[in-house]
Amino acid sequence: MARARSKGRTKVSGKLRLLWLLIGPGVLVFLGENDAPSMLSYSADGARFGVGFFIPFVVLTFVMGFVVQEMTVRLGAVTHRGHAELIFDRFGRFWGFFAMGDLILGNFLTLVTEFIGVRAGLGFFGIRPMVAVGSALLIVLAAITTGRYWTWERITLGLAIFNGLFIPAALLAHPAWPQVGHALLAWTPLPTGNRYEILLLVLATIGATVTPWMLFFQQSAVVDKGMQPRDVAAGRLDTILGALLAAVFAIATILATVPLFHHGIDASRFQAAEFAQALEPWIGHAGAALFALGIFEAGIVAAIAIATSSAYAFGEVFHTGHSLNRPLREAWSFYIVLISSAGVAAALVLIPGAPLEFIVLTVNVIAVLAMPPALVFLLLLVNDREVMGEHVNGLWANAAGMVVTVLLIVAGLGFGLATVFPQLLGG
C-alpha cells in the first residue's frame, strides 16, 4: 500500500514537473499583453466609469483571447513552424510579407508606448527620462542575449509576475466587494455619456487583450521551446493560467482607479504617472508607488516579448536563424531586428515634442482594426488538414473562433463609421 501511494505521488509530481517545464509561452503572452497602454486603458475604465460594465467585459475579452491563443499552441506544437512562416508558405510571398510588415509596424508603435509607460512609471519617483528609458533598454538587452530560450523565458516570467503589483494597489483602494460581485454576475449596461468616447474605450479594452503580436509570439515561442503534439494539453493549461492571471491583474487595475470615479476627478487625459499621483490621496503613497511600479513592469515585459515577436516574424519570412537558443553569430539578423526595434522605440520616446500621447491613445485601437485579417489567416491554417492533420479545429473551436472574428470586425467597422459619421453616435 505504501509503495502504491509512493508511486501515485511520483506520478503526480512527474506531471507537475512536466507542467512546470512547459509553462511559459501562454503566461508570457497574456502578461506581456497586460502592457503599459493596456493597463492605462483599464485605469481609464475604472477612473471614468467605476465598477460596472467594464469588469465583466474585461473577463469576456480574456475568454476571447484564450480562444485565439489556444489555436496558436496547436499550430506551433504540430507544425514546428512560426506563424509568419506558415502564412508565407501556405498563402504566398505577398501575404507573407504583408503579415510581417503589418506586424512589425504595429509592434514598433506598441514598443514606443511601452517605453512611454516605463518613463512615466519611474517618473513618479523623480527618475529622469534618460535614466528610466536607458535602464529599461539595458534590462531588455540583458534578457534577450542569454543564448538560451529557457533562461530568457524564466527571466521574463520572473519580471512578469510583478504585474501582480496592481492587486495590493487595488486592496488599498478598499473596493466595495458586493458591488464587484454584482457587476460580475449581473452584467450592467454600457455607461452613459459621450458615445464616441465610450466606443473608443471599449475598443481600447478589446485591444488590451487580443492583438496580432500575440499570435505570432506564442506560436513562435512554442516552436522555440520545442513543444510537441503530445504537449498541447499542457500548453492549453499554460494559456488558461496566463489568461486567468492577466484578467485578475486587469480587474485589479480597474479597482485601483475607481476612487477617482467616486471623487469626480477628470482622468480623460491622464497618463501613467498622473494616475499614480492622482491616486495618492486615496490609496496612500505606498499604493501609488505600487501602481507606478506596475506600469514600469508592464512596459518592460511587453517590450521584451513584442520585440522578440518582431524578430521571430522577420527570421521566419526571410528564412534566417530565428531562435533565442542560437548565439549572435549564428542568428545575427534575428538579434539585430530585436535590438534595433527596441532601441529605436526607446530613442523616439526621448525626442522632445514627439506625439507620445497620440500614439498611446491610438495603439490599442489599431490593434483591434488589424486583428480580423490575422484571425482569418489563423482560422484557415487551423482548418487545413494538410497542415494540422488530426489536430484541426473541431466544430466548437471553429464556432468560437468565428464569433471572436465577427465581434472584432463589428467593433472595427463601428469605430470606422463613428469616426467618419460622428453624428451617428451624437458625438
pLDDT in tens, 39-94: 888 888 888 888 888 999 999 999 999 999 999 999 999 999 989 889 988 898 88
pLDDT of residue 50: 86
pLDDT of residue 275: 82
Residue 409, domain member (yes or no)? yes
Do 77 and 228 contact (CB within 8 A), yes or no? yes
Residue among 290, 285, 291, 250 at smallest CA distance from 270: 291
Residue range 353-369, pLDDT digits in tens = 766 656 665 665 666 67
47, containing H or E segment: helix 36-49
Q: From its phi and psi, is residue 50 left (phi > 0), alpha (psi between -120 and 50) or beta?
A: left
Whether 267 and 47 have beta carbons less than 8 Å apart is answered as yes
Residue 213 lies in a domain: yes
Q: What pLDDT does 2 receive?
A: 44
In a domain, 14, yes or no: no
Assess if residue 9 is contained within a domain: no
222 within domain boundaries: yes
Q: At 166, which amino acid appears?
A: F
Q: Are 22 and 234 in contact (CB under 8 A)?
A: yes
Burial of 386 (0-12, 13-18, 19+ CB in 10 A): exposed
Q: Which segments of the chain have a pLDDT < 50?
A: 1-7
Range of the domain at 135: 24-425
What's 215's domain CATH number?
1.10.4160.10
What pLDDT score was predicted for residue 360?
A: 61
What pLDDT is attached to residue 322?
81
The CA distances from residue 272 to 35, 132, 260, 295, in Å, are 12, 14, 14, 7
CB-neighbour burial class of residue 333 (10 A; exposed 0-12, middle 13-18, buried 19+):
middle
pLDDT of residue 222: 93
Q: Which residue type occupies 336?
A: I
Q: Please give the tally of structural domains in the chain.
A: 1
Q: Report whether 248 contacts 103 (CB < 8 A).
A: no
Establish if 143 belongs to a structural domain. Answer: yes
Q: Is 8 contained in some domain?
A: no
CA–CA distance, 427 with 419 (Å, rounded to integer):
9
**Domain for residue 38, yes or no?**
yes
